[in-house]
Structure 1
Amino acid sequence: MVLLMLNRLRNLFSGTRSFDGASTGRRGTAFGRMPSQPKAQLASRFELAARARYIASNNAVAAAAVDAWVSALVGSGVKPQSKHKSVRIRGRLNLGFEAWTDRADADQLSDLYGLQVVMAKRTVIDGEAFCLFLNEGNDLTVRLLDPEQIASDMTRDLPEGGRIVSGIEFDSRGRRVAYHVRRETVTTTFQYKVDRIPASDICHMFRVDTPGQVRGITWFAPVLSRIAHLDTWIDAQLTKQAAAAMLVGVVTPGEHADKEWEGEALGDSLEPGTVKVAPVGSDGITFSNPPSVGMDAIEFGRIVEREIAAGMGLPAWQVTQDLSAANYGSQRGSLIEFRRRVEQLQHGMVVFMFLRPLWNRWVATEIMTGRIKGDQTELSAAKWITPKTAWIDPKKDAEAELLAIAGGIMSRREAVTSRGVDIEALDEEIAADNERAARLGLTFQTVAANNNQQPEAAEAA
């Protein structure tokens, strides 16, 4: 009885056989292990980023995945809309910031929206993006930093409980207080001289995957191996087809053929459409039968491409640009789920880590220079407008929005903002258009919203 109870207790507290994924037998040898994700990310970050940069520069599927993510995250630009209670101050802030975007780049290569594109691109490929806020004179500028400028080899404990981890300095409470940045020369080589820059002057944008994460990890991490093997497989297929297409036929002259045929014997070189001559004594002509790429190989390639797209968090057709098997329902369904993921990253990463600190810094600069007066907390309140995303059937979506507004479950401001437009600027533009049309005696017909009736029918009703 005692032995039975001991066995039951041992089975109760021993879960080693309860999950096949945790088994240590023959089947468990197929699993790798990652005891600590933050430590594994720091150890592998550089090598993964270096391989991702190579893949994104040389592989068409990888390049398409990067472009798809950048387009989805920032598109033509994410813009702030002031939420200050004063209409006049809101207008001054919105117009002032929009005017500043043209001189935002410290290197004068782009505007703020171009900087957003580069930041998003580096985040996808390298896993993280950095920029430096510079107050020079009475203006603010932004300088992009290469992720490798952050001294990742600097990791040590500091007095009073602080520490430096992979070039980022933390205080005793675990808050980021400074970044250790290598200086960059004109020749784009990094000097060994390292500057300690306060964290308030640095923007560090990356996708947070786990608690305790210090640096970002490339978004290609789950699929790097697949992309590399797909590249090798496609190269092998192309080489096989090219080699097979080189030789068209072999002439085999009979034993009584003219001796001049001997100079045309088979050699080592092959060219497209080549006809070779066999040694004298054989007879006839043989045509080559180059192997074709079967449907099995084509389908296999598509399966791998879909797996790569899934690992990158993208709809497959956005990566392959192949819409042959897509329809309205499948495209719309994949877009709905994808756009939820995009909105999460836009507001939780792009806005929170990059654009909101930038907006706050710009507002503080305007206050310090006296160009605007007021409480910084009130002046910094803003709503962020993401670029308009077009749907497959815009007519249906517009009708659904109109019904939602009429039913009181959506505000007109929410509908306009979702299209990437400032409602106040839109209303002013509409008013100006109406005033100009009235002044010139112009009239335009509008489509009635009630059951798609024509205006005359709607009036009669």
Structure 2
Amino acid sequence: MTWLDDTIGWVSPEWGARRLAYRARLDVARRGYDAARRDHRTASWHTAGSSANAEIAYSEEIVRNRTRDLGRNNGWATQILDTFADHAAGTGIVGAPTGLKARNQQRVGAAWANWGEVCDYDGDHDLAGLLWLATKGMGESGASLIRIRRHAFDASTTIAPLSLQVLEPDFIDTLKDGTTRDGGLIDRGIEYDAKGRKVAYWLLPHHPGDVASWRMRSLVSDRVPADEVVYLYQKLRPGQDRGMPLLAPAVMTLRDLDSYFDAELVRKRIESCLAGFIETPEDDLAIGTNANESRNQQQAKYGKLVDKFEPGMMTRLRPGEKITVATPANSQGVSEFAQLHLREAAAAAGVMYEHATGDFSNVNYSSWRAGHHGFRRRMERVQWHVLIHKACRPIQMRWREAARAAGLLPAADFGWRWTPPGFISVDPYKDAQADLANLRMGKVTLRQLVEERGYDFVEQLLQLADDFKAVAETLGDDFRFDGDPRKALTQAQPSSSDKAEQTDAAKAA
């Protein structure tokens, strides 16, 4: 306390106490976060406190179009987007029923598999291909729409009357705004109820960017209930209702890198050209000394103002003239500059630098495995929190409803499990040993190991049984391949006859 504080406190203790309290608050503010300081370093740093939806509303279309342009014309962007889709969706997420008897489980699994082969509304993919396409679209455009289309049931088939159509987020009518009769809100093509929950999407019949006149007959949006649409996107902030492209933080980085490469290419072209300048010591022969002479007169008097050098050409000059050859400075550090920008772009997109570039020159077995753990965790988050939760489960529920209504399910009460594709092993032999050890300790099940590789467990067992039966019928019961798991079991646990022979031998000894 200073003498002024003592004086104020003597005159009015209340004022003195308030003065000390405000001074303490000011000291706390001064000792707060450096990130909140306002000085010359942050004078040009303008930030906004708007919500996620407000920020996306002003940037979504521009960022989406720029990301698509990079995906078409920038090899690094294409590699990043494909890597994201390949590791998140891959060859498909395996779904199978649980809680059923073997026969019923086989029937339900077969019905699901048969529908998955023909579920594409456009007829181009199976279920795994549609999921990969939706994942790629989510990374490139920020979101993907999977519209569920219902059809009349054909009794001659065993296919559920349901199909899936993957659409880009451009189909959402962003010009559709207003309020509804029940107190809800329509915000840029998404309808909410009075409690703020999504209840419908207003979708255009055609892509608004389609320039084909025969498809642009009408752009009047239709209301589609929310349970008939899967809006696939990554929710990165609370309250965020729309997605942004995966490359949004890396758009400017990749764009600047393209511009830098263009400038370096121009520089290299200039360096590859041999340019020479003719100098003369005589003033009367210097070009441009007589302002009254035209360009044609100067060319007739002194020759061409610009000549070309051809390979192997040598020419003599006038007495006193000399040629100076231009030697542009070589550019250095291009590779280091590109690596820094590509590392930043890969980190912004959540993939490894080696995945984005194909450059594995600076990694070894140990560093690759250590770095791959973090990438694998991120992809697992996308698989379980986004793809399975937002896409696979709703699709399975709609399929179950349609198949049950068509009488294709032998039971109504059963569960469902999902198994995303496993990651490719760096050392298959060591990983196989680890799988065997985990299986023997009960840390994993055989079903998990099989489905982790993209196969249905029941179908795998049926194939094994068929293979064993074919071998026995052709070669006999005693013949077994070295890869037959029953052979390892026989070696580990001798038969009763082998045990008896061992006992007799021990007694005789």
**Band of TM-score, shorter chain:** 0.7 to 0.9
The sequence identity of aligned pairs, in percent, is: 24
Q: Where does residue 31 of structure 1 map in the other structure?
A: 45
1:314 aligns with 2:351: yes
Matches within 5 A, 1:330-349: 330-349=367-386
- Deviation string, structure 1 residues 137-158 (Cα, Å, up to 9, x no partner): 1121112222111011223333
Structure 2 CA distance for partners of 1:150 and 1:427, relative to 1, 3 Å: same
1:179 aligns with 2:184: no
Structure 2 CA distance for partners of 1:88 and 1:333, relative to 1, 3 Å: same
Matches within 5 A, 1:281-430: 289=327, 291-294=329-332, 296-375=333-412, 378-379=413-414, 381-430=415-464
Structure 2 CA distance for partners of 1:275 and 1:204, relative to 1, 3 Å: farther
- Deviation string, structure 1 residues 214-236 (Cα, Å, up to 9, x no partner): 21111111111111111111111
Structure 2 CA distance for partners of 1:220 and 1:158, relative to 1, 3 Å: same
- Equivalent of residue 436 in structure 1, options 449, 466, 470: 470
1:248 aligns with 2:274: yes
Q: Name which of structure 1's ranges 30-39 and 144-153 shifts more when overlaid on structure 2.
A: 30-39
Determine which structure has the larger strand proportion and give its number.
1
Q: Where does residue 156 of structure 1 map in the other structure?
A: 178
Q: Where does residue 187 of structure 2 map in the other structure?
A: 165
Q: Where does residue 134 of structure 2 map in the other structure?
A: 119
8 Å CA contact 1:132–1:142 kept in 2: the answer is yes
Q: CA deviation at 1:191?
A: 3.4
1:40 aligns with 2:66: no
CA distance in 2, matches of 1:443, 1:117: 40
Unaligned runs of 5+ residues in structure 2 are 1-5, 10-14, 154-160, 282-298, 499-509
TM-score, structure 1 length as denominator? 0.87
8 Å CA contact 1:241–1:291 kept in 2: the answer is no
Q: Which one-letter code corresponds to 2:442 in the other structure?
A: G
Matches within 5 A, 1:89-238: 89-138=104-153, 139-184=161-206, 187=212, 189=216, 191-238=218-265
Q: CA deviation at 1:437?
A: 1.9
Structure 2 CA distance for partners of 1:281 and 1:313, relative to 1, 3 Å: farther
CA distance in 1, matches of 2:314, 2:94: 67
Q: CA deviation at 1:162?
A: 0.8
Structure 2 CA distance for partners of 1:156 and 1:21, relative to 1, 3 Å: farther
More RCO (CA 8 Å, sep 6+) = 2
- Deviation string, structure 1 residues 72-108 (Cα, Å, up to 9, x no partner): 1111111211113222222112211211122211111
Q: Which one-letter code corresponds to 1:56 in the other structure?
A: G
8 Å CA contact 1:153–1:167 kept in 2: the answer is yes
Runs of 4+ in 1 over 6 A off after TM superposition: 251-255, 273-279, 455-460
Structure 2 CA distance for partners of 1:275 and 1:356, relative to 1, 3 Å: farther
TM-score, structure 2 length as denominator? 0.79
CA distance in 1, matches of 2:316, 2:94: 73
CA distance in 1, matches of 2:114, 2:319: 85
- Deviation string, structure 1 residues 3-55 (Cα, Å, up to 9, x no partner): 77445422544554311111223222243313122311222111111111111
Q: Between Structure 1 and Structure 2, how many residues are aligned?
A: 445
Q: SS at the partner of 2:224?
A: strand
- Which is greater in Rg? 2
Structure 2 CA distance for partners of 1:243 and 1:329, relative to 1, 3 Å: same
CA distance in 2, matches of 1:147, 1:69: 19
CA distance in 2, matches of 1:282, 1:143: 80
Alpha carbon RMSD of aligned pairs, Å? Answer: 3.2
